[in-house]
Amino acid sequence: MVPVAKTSKARKNKRRSHHALTRPNLVACPKCGIAKLPHASCENCGYVSGSVALPLKEQES
């Protein structure tokens, strides 16, 4: 299929006005200070909350 009419710069730019990416909201891990996603376990130390921590997966080779 071939487009019937050329898409104007205005139409193209209006379509692309919704294409911007947003930065993920990052919070500092209270245990090790590395940036992590809120409400998620820390990938560096496994911290969840208080004394709860997920076991970190050993790297298998």
Residue ranges in contact with Zn ion by CB under 5 A = 29, 31-32, 42, 44-45, 47
Residues 41 and 54: beta-carbon distance below 8 Å: yes
Q: Which two tokens stand for residue 21?
A: 């990416």
Of the pair 7, 45, the CB lying nearest Zn ion is at 45
Q: How far is the CB of 13 from Zn ion (least distance, A)?
A: 42
Burial of residue 41 (number of CB atoms within 10 Å: 0-12, 13-18, 19+): middle
Q: How far is the CB of 57 from Zn ion (least distance, A)?
A: 15
Of the pair 15, 28, the CB lying nearest Zn ion is at 28
